[in-house]
Structures are given as structure tokens and as C-alpha cells.
Amino acid sequence: MDNKLAKLISLIHKLPESCLDDVLEIVSEKLEQSDEDEDPDNPSCPHCKHNKVHRNGRKDGKQRFICVACKKTFGATTHTALSSSHFGEATWKHVIRDTVNGVSIKKTAQALQIAEPTIFNMRHKILLSLEAENARTPAILSVVCELDDTFVLESYKGKKLSKDFWRKPRKHGAVAQKRGISNEYVCISTGVSRNGGAIAKSVTRATPSKDDINSVFGGHIEPETLIMCDGANGYTDFGAKNNCDVVVIKERGGFTHTNTASSFQSLIKERYNKYRGVATKYLNRYNALFAKLFRSNEDLADEIYSIMISSDTPRHHSVADVKGLGLLGV
């Protein structure tokens, strides 16, 4: 779906100055009408969950409420990912679409005429919301699933490395200094169920141990599920301990291949390359997005936006959360 907001901004830049007053009046009227049309019914209080609340005026054009029980005021987006946001639905959906499609932060900022640090924070609030949704409704693999690992070079993208750092800064497209799977690579453990579920998570560098595999998939695979894998000891041990059958997939020449898991990993690598790499500390945030994208042929902007404005689980994330919440420290 085309991002109409960027087109509108581009057209406004081309208008003569004499037209700006007319455009401003039309947009103001539409915004006021939209605010009135979209006034929510009285919701339950996000602070104490009491369902008796009263309307309490408007702030910045948005309806406010006051709780009869705790006397606290709130709005429709309080305790959601959009709490305190100065941007509306169209702007957020534009950023969501660009995040899903792998558009760079710089290009999104240019299209919307918004500062790059602001777009960066918006993107990571989107990713944090997806991560929170994964924790609230975790994927469960059942019947037949495929487990496998893929590897990406560790990255300090966006960070200036000190002169005494153990390696020199890499350019995009650089390769590891060592051959094979080494500590220069971060492992992404992936699991895909034939009935649709997908998991991607990073917990270690290089080859994962039995404990690493259990930390990723423990509680996410139903007993008696048929696990298809490449025969690594960690996966066969996991299957035995979780009452699952394990089948090692082999092709001609002794090579192993899990088709569905490989398809998921191809998507991860394709998106990873579109972003021109992802800072390792943020990798699990993007893994939540990759799992959401797998097998999806629809525009996800509406679904992800709904997740962000849902108050089922508090999802308000500050800039401090963006910089320090749930970072991968491997």
C-alpha cells in the first residue's frame, strides 16, 4: 500500500504561499471532525481497571476521562505504545510500513520531514511492542516443526569503536576474520511449525549449547510434536527431554536441509541485508518482527498499529527503554 502521507507532504512543499492558509483551514477542519468522530466509548481505567469513568474535557483535541474509583485522569492511549505521542495514526502507520518493508530510517525521516532520532525511537517502540506481544501470546509449535540455526555477523552499528577494540570497524558487506562459525557470529535459533507458528531468538554466539536451545524453545513446543532438525546434539537432547520424536533430515551427499525453516531463515537474511545490518544488541527486537512477517502476505500496518494501541498489556516505552530495555548482551 502506498504511503499517502509522504505524497501529501511532498505536494504541500510545492504549493505557492498564497494557498497555505486555505490548506491549513481544510486540514484543521478535517482534524477536528476526525477527533469528534473517533471519540471512544467510555473505557475502563488503565490505572485501576475500574469500569466506571466520566468524560473529563479534551486535551490537544483528544477526549480525556476521569476514574470514579481512583480519581486519576487518562486518555484513550494511556498505558499504550502511543502514550504521549505527538503523531497521529497516519504517521505511525507510515513508519510501521517502512519498518516492515525494510526502508532505512534516513529515507523515512526524509519522506515525513521528521528528525532521524525521532524515527529511530518510533521504529524501536514498534519493535518493542511486537516483542511484548510475543511475550503475552507466545508462539507454540505443534504436530510437526522444524528447528534450525542461522548466523549473522555481530555488529556494533551506530557505535563508535575505541582505538583499542579487538577488531577494526567493518564496512557493509565485510566478512568475518575467521573461517567457519566462530564467536564473530551471533546465532539466531529458528523454529517453524507446519501449521503456521514461527520463533526466532538469539541467546548466544557461535553454535548454541543444550541450555541455549532449551532457553529458546522450552515451553514453546507441545509434547509429542515431531521435531525435524539437522541432527545437532542439542536438538536431539531437547526432543528426548520434552517427549518429542526427533527426525534428522538428510539429502544426497549427507547434507541436511529443513525446507520450511530454511525459507524462514532466507526471509531473515533478506530483511537483515535490507536494513544493512542490525546492531547486535537490538537483534531480538528485529527477530520479533521477522517472526511476524513469516508467511504473511498482507499489509501488517493495521494489525501492528492495533497491537500498539491495545491496553491488554501495558506497552508504553520511553526513550530510555528504547536505549536499554531487553538488549542482547552476547
State pLDDT tens for residues 242-284.
Answer: 999 998 876 554 445 568 888 999 999 999 888 888 899 999 9
Band (pLDDT 50/70/90 cuts) for residue 77 is: confident
* pLDDT at residue number 251: 59
H/E stretch holding 270 reads helix 259-274
Percent of the chain whose predicted confidence (pLDDT) is above 70 = 91
* pLDDT at residue number 25: 84
Residue 47: burial class (beta carbons within 10 Å; 0-12, 13-18, 19+):
middle
* pLDDT at residue number 34: 64
- Break the chain into its structural domains and give their ranges: 139-299
Chain position carrying cell 549427507: 254
**Half-sphere CA count of 113, side-chain side, radius 13 A:** 9
Q: Per-residue pLDDT averaged across 90-112, rounded?
A: 93
Is-contact 79 314, C-beta < 8 A? yes
47 or 173: which carries more pLDDT confidence?
47
220 or 315: which carries more pLDDT confidence?
220
* pLDDT at residue number 110: 94
Q: Is the pLDDT of residue 1 over 50?
A: no
**Half-sphere CA count of 233, side-chain side, radius 13 A:** 5
Most trustworthy range by pLDDT among 57-71, 98-112, 237-251: 98-112
Least confident stretch, 72-76, 279-283, 299-303: 72-76
Three-state DSSP class for 325? coil
* pLDDT at residue number 97: 93
* pLDDT at residue number 37: 53
All three cell numbers of 257: 536441509
Q: Is the pLDDT of residue 291 over 70?
A: yes
Q: Is the pLDDT of residue 30 over 80?
A: no
* pLDDT at residue number 257: 57
Q: Is the pLDDT of residue 313 over 70?
A: no
Q: Is the pLDDT of residue 84 over 70?
A: yes
The 10 Å Cβ neighbour count of residue 215 is: 15
Q: Is the pLDDT of residue 174 over 80?
A: no
- Alpha-carbon separation of residue 179 from 75, 150, 168, 169, 279 (angstroms): 55, 16, 17, 18, 22
Least confident stretch, 35-44, 57-66, 257-266, 300-309: 35-44
* pLDDT at residue number 315: 66
Terminal-to-terminal C-alpha distance of the chain: 37
Q: Is 289 left (phi over 0), alpha (psi -120 to 50) or beta?
A: alpha
All three cell numbers of 109: 525521516
Is-contact 50 44, C-beta < 8 A? yes
* pLDDT at residue number 62: 72
Mean of per-residue pLDDT scores for the chain: 85
The CATH architecture assigned to 139-299 reads: 2-Layer Sandwich (3.30)
Q: Is the pLDDT of residue 297 over 60?
A: yes
All three cell numbers of 57: 474535557
Percent of the chain whose predicted confidence (pLDDT) is above 90 = 39
**Half-sphere CA count of 66, side-chain side, radius 13 A:** 7
pLDDT digits (tens, 9 = 90+) for 218-229: 999 999 999 998
